[in-house]
Amino acid sequence: MKDKRIAILFLTIFIDLLGFGVVIPILPNLAKELALDSQLSVNGDIAVGIVAAAFSLIQFLFAPIFGSISDRIGRRPIILGSVIVNAMGYVLFAFSGSFWLLLIARIVSGFGSANISAAQAYIADITEPQDRAKKMGIIGAAFGLGFVFGPPIGGKLYDIGGPIQGLMLVGGFTAILCLLNFVLAYFLLPESLVNKTVEKRKASDTFKGMVSAWSIEIIGELLLIGFVYVAAFSMMQINASILWKEKYHLNPAEIGNIFGIIGIFSAIVQGGLIGLFQNKIGLKKMLIWGCPIAAIGLTLIPLPSVEWFYPVQIVAILFLALGNGFLMPSINSLISINTPAESQGKMLGIFQSISSLARVIGPVLSGFLYVITPGLPYYTGGVFMLMAFVLALVLSNKLTEVK
């Protein structure tokens, strides 16, 4: 990473997402257990979807607002403020002894995590269009590395401390990471925005912006493909911990290690191979090929017997990492390329809001489908990706080749 700002932003995002990754192997099963203990009137699997949906619903509402505010006041204040809010959310998570407190903790963290649009806009500010896919892949690489280290650490801490002390260890660890993240960004991350806008946004503008963006040629199709993919992927991401515990009898540390493997593959693909793929096949083919590759990965996850679990999961993870590496940087880059420079934060914020809406729908749908049969969320996700493949093929006729 030749640009020092990119390196610093990478470290900042990595620390932020490391904290997020720490709770991944614990949260779904914790939410289900607390829901059963609280004797809620809804099924435990559906309650898991509600917790995940609450986090994403807040992101859905605030990501475009934060993106637009970053167009007015700069990227740096948004990134710094959101990190502090995230720390507060993880402190609440550490003391989540009831379902309702856990739900509040995830709502606070959802608010703090609505900053990714500002980070993407930061990258767009300092890169040329032809380099944007590779640089956007840095966010994916940071996310992947967060999954390399975060889930194994979270699973191990939870196993060491047990159900009560383990939760405090995980929450305290992530809160400290957020504070370290704040210090790093405060001293080392300069402002990237040169030309600020005076446009202001209200909460209702989130919905208006989505409707307006969906009507824009090319942008609308890209947003729809992104929506379908994120919904399919989030069905797996939230449900997998429950599936691996109940069908394959994995403990939190083992679940964390599986997510760590996902992170390794994602980091390799998005951090090291995206630039090569873009140069060799272009963004259009990355968009098209990513859909069936992701479909195969999702469909494979619930298929193996206990004896064949690890070999099949490794193959599934490879396909998911490659599909995600093709899809997200290409979608983000094509949106950025087709958006005026002064609206980068706004449009990328709208995409993040749409992605968050998909993460609201995906986990809730996954909970209902899992109640019917454990494999159904993954097969449904595969069908979603075949639908996205058709959309990508239709869109490819409108896109000029971009490398």
pLDDT per residue as tens digits for the range 140-164: 677 767 778 889 999 999 988 877 7
Amino acid at 92: L
Of 109-118, 134-143, 339-348, the range with the highest mean pLDDT is 109-118
Cα–Cα nearest to 390, from 274, 308, 291, 306: 291
The residue among 37 and 379 whose pLDDT is bigger is 379
Q: What is the mean pLDDT of residues 34-40?
A: 83
Which band of pLDDT confidence, cut at 50, 70 and 90, is reported for residue 365? Answer: very high
pLDDT of residue 1: 45
Task: Express each pLDDT in 172-198 by its tens digit.
Answer: 998 998 888 888 888 888 887 766 665
Q: Specify whether the CB–CB gap between 190 and 76 falls below 8 A.
A: yes
According to the model, what pLDDT value does residue 243 have? 93
Q: What is the dihedral of CA 165, 170, 175, 179, to 10 degrees?
A: 120
Could you tell me if 124 and 336 are in contact, meaning their C-beta atoms sit under 8 angstroms apart? yes
38 φ, ψ (degrees, to nearest 5): -80, -5
341 secondary structure, DSSP code? G
Out of 57-66, 74-83, 164-173, which region has the weakest mean confidence (pLDDT)?
A: 57-66
Please determine, for residue 128, whether its predicted confidence score (pLDDT) is greater than 60.
yes
Q: Please work out, in degrees rounded to the nearest 5, the angle formed at the alpha carbon of residue 16 by the alpha carbons of 203 and 342.
A: 45
Per-position b or e across 205-224, b if 16+ CB within 10 A of its CB: bbeebbeebbeeeebebbbb
Q: In terms of pLDDT, which residue wins out, 97 or 400?
A: 97
pLDDT at 400 over 70: no
Phi then psi for residue 91, to 5 deg, are: -65, -45
CA distance 315 to 151: 20
Predicted pLDDT of residue 397: 79
- The residue among 36 and 194 whose pLDDT is bigger is 36
Q: Is the separation of the CB atoms in 99 and 40 below 8 Å?
A: yes
In order of their start, the domains of the chain are 4-192+199-396 (1.20.1250.20)
* pLDDT of 210 over the 80 cut: no
Confidence of residue 375 (pLDDT cuts 50, 70, 90): very high
Kindly state the tokens that stand for 190. 């300069």
Q: Say how many residues make up the chain.
A: 403
- The owner of tokens 């493909």 is 225
To which residue do tokens 């704040």 refer?
Answer: 182
Mean pLDDT of the chain: 83
Contact 300, 319 (CB under 8 A): yes
Task: Kindly state the average pLDDT of the residues 254-264.
Answer: 86
